Structure 1
Amino acid sequence: MIRVLQCVNNMHRAGLETMLMNYYRRIDREQIQFDFLTHRPERADYDDEIESLGGKVYYAPRLYPQNLPEYNRYMRQFFKEHPEYKIMHSHIDPMSYLPLKAGKKAGVPIRIAHSHNTSIDKDMKYWLKMYYRERITSVATDFLACGEEAGQFLFKGKPFEVVPNAIEKDPFLFNEDVRTKKRQELGLGDELVIGHIGRISYQKNHRLLVQIFSNIVKLNPNSKLLIIGVGEKEEEIRKLVNDLGITDKVLFLGKRTDVNELYQAMDAFVMPSFFEGVPVVGVEAQFAKLPCFFSDKVPVEVSFSEATSFIKLEEDPAVWAKTILDKMASFKDRRNIQLTDNRYDINESYIVLEDMYKQFYSRL
């Protein structure tokens, strides 16, 4: 059996993590098994399922600068205790430099860096991430990306292969009965419902999202906004909602396990991100046949629906609002929205990754 060590931050329910689980559930686990090296001390949403599927979860120290001596010691000991790992696959963008460097020192022969973004969060580790970005090609043997722009961003001229952010599409397909039930649960009647799913963080740009929605309310007062997710900017965004006087029109739904049903309750999906790789939620929303509105910082390769639009990030929120309402008027019955591509269907795409692992293993 081929055991692949997947290196992640944690396995909570988020885009990258959900994508990994989609592949993990589908691959032939009699031939290929995933184990997970996480960088948080606590158990996460998917840990129980991972273990039920035969995988192991390890908990390394967090990748804070002050933790690096402890982290390096942990990784040296980890690979001494686990010489069985011949393939490691890291998904933490520039920070992948650290586990891959440890793997290189320990003699792990196949070390895969996987790019999932087209920029870097401007947090306290920004300059450190920029430093690691310059060096990541020196510690990886192979390069994968969720899309062309993500690969070009992280690998800077090195050849890479694309692994689509594929999903199990069936739970997301439009269902009128689910829509009715979910809207009743949320206390929604005939309102126009705008939705967003994502961590409440700098990257996702909830400030602009709320400003756009405030302008939608001016044009259509019978509107609601669903914000699904949690994050470090939540308090700031709640204050903005209050300052704009739309508290009664915005539902903060937190972390959810029923996102496939929440898409059914929406009438449109809006994602004004500062940067993205290929967002899994964007794929899910299109399979749900929602009109989707992305910023022009989201790679166009995510699009496979005739009802998907890209709007310049710097456009005024009022322009966003008018564009959204005008475009939605063209797609009154979402059941008729046409999809054009199946590369994001896990039933078509899991074989791509499965074959890659077999090819990597054949080099040993």
Structure 2
Amino acid sequence: MNKPIRILHVIGIMNRGGAETMIMNLYRSIDKEKIQFDFVQNCTGPAAFDEEIKQMGGKIYHCPHYNGKNHFQYIKWWKKFFKNHRDEYCIVHGHLGSMAAIYLNIANKFGLYTIAHSHSAFTIKNCKDILYKLISYPTRYTADFFFGCSLNAGISRYGKEVVKRKNFKVLNNAIDLKQFVYNKQIREKIRNELKIKNEFVIGHVGRMDDNKNQIFLLNLIKQMKNQYPVKLALVGTGVNYDKLVKQAEEMGLENDVLFLGVRSDVNELLQGMDCFVFPSFYEGLPVTLIETQAASLPSVISDTITDEVILTNIVTKVSLNLSLQDWIVKIIKYFDYDRSHSYINDLNAYDVKFTSKWMEDFYIKCQKENLKNH
């Protein structure tokens, strides 16, 4: 029996973020007799998905966290890694965008097929963003193939010329759709657990950082609670977690905001919400908004997010330049919304069972192409 093709995924840390969840959805669904995933994480570990990865037969390695000062140490680590593992891999799938130009270039020199994967569209707002752009820029001349979670994510990372090529593809952020179908019994269970009675629950799932703009949600709920019985449920953690908890207390919202942390039952938590609000400054194609539509959960989102994510009529875009009251008007139209209608058929392009089969065939094709060229 042939051994499976081992794909080396390079990522920051395998915690419960959008890109990481998408990778795990593929990993769970893919035929592991044909394809196996291993990971190099840009951290010291441990990570939320580590144990599941090991249970499915994946290996985990840790490279140094790049900080600029350790540039030559970082290069040395990757050269040593590929020298020691050159017989185990022929494909490197890079999700860590900032350093992709470095590690994919080294992988190329060892004769490996290289894939760059953009999970986010971004705009330059500060010096850090400029530095990211400069460091990652050569990736467009390095990788053999390019993925973007959306067209905007591809253009943002690689430029307009790359997305016109045959070696670029928009790869949908696949999920297990059936896990998210609306279920009234699960809704009641979740709301009982969270001690929610008759309140209208505004929900949000996301990494807590400046880009996700959760402070907007605190301001929103502060204004909204004066008019309606509402609660805000925040799922996730991140660099701004402690700051947001403190701000909520200072704003007198400690009884109105539920900080739920990192959860493995997001599919069930969505059942207990009434409207999902997503005021990000920029995104690629957020997988969370595919999940909300699969759960028949209405969403009000910022107009900076790509139209590619709107696959049903239960997503409303609002400009961040408009007032909180303008947002509230859009949200309250979903009071007493009937979630019994399923939108699964509108979301088939995001079903993991189709995407994982496509990925199997793609990796096998890449391996054959690489062997032919070497």
TM-score, length of structure 1 as denominator length: 0.94
Distance 2:241 2:126 in 1: 16
Counterpart in 2 of 1:332?
Answer: 337
Deviations 1:21-49, CA, capped at 9 Å, x for gaps? 11111111111111111100112111111
Distance 1:282 1:135 in 2: 31
Deviations 1:108-150, CA, capped at 9 Å, x for gaps? 2x11001111116867743321112321112211111111111
Counterpart in 1 of 2:48?
Answer: 45
1:353 counterpart = 2:356: no
Moved more, 344-353 or 140-149: 344-353
Counterpart in 2 of 1:196?
Answer: 204
Deviations 1:212-247, CA, capped at 9 Å, x for gaps? 222322331x10000111111123322332333322
Counterpart in 2 of 1:59?
Answer: 62
1:184 counterpart = 2:192: yes
- Quick one: structure 1 residues 35 and 121, their matched pair in 2 at CA, closer, same or farther if it must change by over 3 Å? farther
3-state SS of paired residue (1:93): coil
Amino acid in the other structure paired with 2:349: R
Distance 1:120 1:149 in 2: 11
Counterpart in 1 of 2:155?
Answer: 152
Contact 1:229 1:254 in 2 (8 A): yes
Match runs of 1:1-364 below 5 Å: 1-83=4-86, 84-108=88-112, 110-119=113-122, 125-156=128-159, 157-158=161-162, 159=165, 160-220=168-228, 222-326=229-333, 328-329=334-335, 332-336=337-341, 338=343, 340-364=346-370
The offset of 1:93, in angstroms, is 2.5
Contact 2:294 2:347 in 1 (8 A): no
3-state SS of paired residue (1:118): coil
The offset of 1:14, in angstroms, is 1.2
Distance 2:152 2:84 in 1: 37
- Quick one: structure 1 residues 144 and 281, their matched pair in 2 at CA, closer, same or farther if it must change by over 3 Å? same
Distance 2:200 2:342 in 1: 18
Distance 1:128 1:362 in 2: 36
Deviations 1:85-118, CA, capped at 9 Å, x for gaps? 211010122332222122123332x110011111
- Quick one: structure 1 residues 197 and 123, their matched pair in 2 at CA, closer, same or farther if it must change by over 3 Å? farther
The offset of 1:336, in angstroms, is 2.5
Amino acid in the other structure paired with 1:117: S
Q: CA RMSD in A?
A: 1.7
Distance 2:125 2:71 in 1: 20
Amino acid in the other structure paired with 1:6: H
Contact 1:121 1:203 in 2 (8 A): no
- Quick one: structure 1 residues 122 and 33, their matched pair in 2 at CA, closer, same or farther if it must change by over 3 Å? farther
Moved more, 171-180 or 62-71: 62-71
Deviations 1:59-95, CA, capped at 9 Å, x for gaps? 1111221232221111111001000221101012233
Deviations 1:278-313, CA, capped at 9 Å, x for gaps? 111111111111001111111111122211111112
Distance 1:97 1:244 in 2: 44
Contact 2:121 2:283 in 1 (8 A): yes
Q: Number of residue pairs matched?
A: 360
Moved more, 354-363 or 50-59: 354-363
Deviations 1:136-171, CA, capped at 9 Å, x for gaps? 112211111111111111111112101110101222
Amino acid in the other structure paired with 1:341: L
The offset of 1:338, in angstroms, is 4.2
Contact 1:163 1:353 in 2 (8 A): no
Distance 1:71 1:122 in 2: 27
The offset of 1:53, in angstroms, is 1.0
Contact 2:293 2:343 in 1 (8 A): no
Distance 2:134 2:314 in 1: 39
3-state SS of paired residue (2:347): coil
Sequence identity, in percent?
A: 36
Amino acid in the other structure paired with 1:20: I
Contact 1:307 1:337 in 2 (8 A): no
Distance 2:260 2:131 in 1: 34
